Amino acid sequence: MADGTVSGADRDESGRRGASDHSDGGHGDDVRSGDNRSDDSDTDNGYSDNSNSDNGDNNDSSGGDDRQDYHDRGYGDGWEELRQQTLRRDNYACTRCGADDRTLQAHHIVPRSAGGPDELENLLTLCRPCHGVIHQHNNAFDDVRDDAPLFPERTAPDPVARLRTPADQCCTRCGAERSDPTELVAWTDVPASDDGRPAPSHVTLCKPCAGLLIERDSAVEKEVLTANHTISVHELAARRTDAPVRPSAFALSQVGIRREPRTLRERVVDDTPLRFLLNHRGIRLALLVAVGYVALFVVLAL
Ligand SMILES: [Zn+2]
Ligand SMILES: [Zn+2]
């Protein structure tokens, strides 16, 4: 029943995020704090809706049996009409990537399973690959997800303005998640690592870390960086001092660069193992250990 549990959790999460995105118009400045690689799996299934897994928003073709089909899935009689309205409003193009030559589907911003209504305001047109990007855990899209462009269009509405995979939204050097795609660039010309592992097709970097890479590696130029906006090498260079002094423990070797510390704190904390203790996780762990010791003394004293 592991599946059921997971899908339940996903639904809660998607409902909550979906609803908040719906009400506040998005996650523009919702930059999550650093070392949260482990959170990837649930931060990025925002709108996934596993109860719809095999049928949910998959309303692509307009063949003869569809009306009956939608009906069987709990879609009301007006669904086909509403779906057409959605596509018309979005000019028959995917709102994430702009494609107009692919199978287009209507996506529920707040999933139906989380109470999202069948209303135009709750629907966005997506091509099938981009639909799979938004529904990361829906294996019905596994065959097409990789066809979606890495970056959403600059004009993509917040609920669908995501990179192709959850890992793409994290900087491969510092591990920070950037939910705003304009804060990320992709390096497409990554060499193989020293230990002979094959080079990834691309890695994404936050702008400060990209600035650091450009500074270190003159082979990394604007031409091998992509984004959904014009990349300013000047901006990247100017922001490199915002990059953490040390790369995260998970950083790929190709991007595992250390930055020269500038301030006393950077020299004493950020560039030494003290950084593991003096962050919120380290402090929490230290507190936990302290409480554990006190508890142990109390127990032994009784
Ligand atoms: Zn698309
Ligand atoms: Zn970074």
98-130 per-position pLDDT tens digit: 999 999 999 999 998 899 999 999 999 999 999
Work out the widest C-alpha separation in the chain, in whole angstroms: 78
For residue 266, being part of any structural domain is answered with no
| 22 lies in the same domain as 132 | yes
Residue of 240, 180, 168 lying closest to 209 (CA atoms): 240
The shares of helix, strand and coil residues in the chain, as percent rounded to the nearest 5, are 45, 5, 45
β-pair partners for 104: 127
- Structural tokens at position 215: 């500074």
How far away, in angstroms, is 282 Cα from ligand 2 center? 20
β-pair partners for 124: 107
| Average pLDDT score, the chain | 78
How far away, in angstroms, is 205 Cα from ligand 2 center? 5
| 69 lies in the same domain as 206 | no
Last residue of a domain, one of 130, 162, 194: 162
Q: Is residue 124 within 8 Å of 106, Cβ to Cβ? A: yes
Separation of alpha carbons 220 and 206, rounded Å = 15
| 72 lies in the same domain as 9 | yes
| 157 lies in the same domain as 17 | yes
How far away, in angstroms, is 148 Cα from ligand 1 center? 6
Residue of 178, 252, 188 lying closest to 208 (CA atoms): 178
pLDDT of residue 74: 65
Burial class from Cβ neighbours inside 10 Å (0-12, 13-18, 19+) for residue 145 reads buried
For residue 180, being part of any structural domain is answered with yes
How far away, in angstroms, is 95 Cα from ligand 1 center? 7
pLDDT less than 50: residues of the chain: 1-56, 58, 60-64
| 129 lies in the same domain as 76 | yes
Last residue of a domain, one of 162, 197, 232: 162
Q: What is the CA angle 194-196-198, rounded to 5?
A: 115
Compute the half-sphere exposure of residue 128: CA atoms within 13 Å on the CB side of its CA. 14
List C-alpha distances in Å: 182 to 110, 154, 205, 231: 24, 8, 11, 9
How far away, in angstroms, is 176 Cα from ligand 1 center? 25
Separation of alpha carbons 212 and 251, rounded Å = 14
| 111 lies in the same domain as 192 | no
H helices, E strands: number in the chain: 10, 5
| 184 lies in the same domain as 209 | yes
- Structural tokens at position 280: 């919120």
For residue 155, being part of any structural domain is answered with yes
pLDDT in tens, 6-59: 333 333 333 333 333 333 333 333 333 333 333 333 333 333 333 333 334 545
pLDDT of residue 73: 65
What are the DSSP calls for 280-294, one per residue? HHHHHHHHHHHHHHH
Q: Is residue 134 within 8 Å of 106, Cβ to Cβ? A: no
Number of structural domains (the chain) is 3
For residue 267, being part of any structural domain is answered with no
For residue 106, being part of any structural domain is answered with yes
pLDDT of residue 70: 63
For residue 15, being part of any structural domain is answered with yes
pTM higher than 0.75? no
The dihedral region occupied by 226, where left means phi > 0, alpha psi between -120 and 50, and beta the remainder, is beta
| 79 lies in the same domain as 11 | yes
For residue 265, being part of any structural domain is answered with no
Last residue of a domain, one of 109, 139, 162: 162
| 242 lies in the same domain as 302 | no
**What residue type is 116 in one-letter code?**
G
pLDDT of residue 283: 76
Q: Which ligand is nearest to the CA of 152?
A: 1
pLDDT of residue 162: 95
- Structural tokens at position 167: 């890992």
pLDDT of residue 54: 37
How far away, in angstroms, is 2 Cα from ligand 1 center? 31
| 94 lies in the same domain as 17 | yes
How far away, in angstroms, is 59 Cα from ligand 1 center? 15
Q: How many CB atoms lie within 10 A of CB 69?
A: 16
Domain that holds residue 214: 170-260
For residue 225, being part of any structural domain is answered with yes
Q: Is residue 155 within 8 Å of 162, Cβ to Cβ? A: no
Residues 6+ apart with CB under 8 A from 113: 11, 15, 49, 51, 52
| 127 lies in the same domain as 175 | no
How far away, in angstroms, is 226 Cα from ligand 1 center? 18
| 157 lies in the same domain as 19 | yes
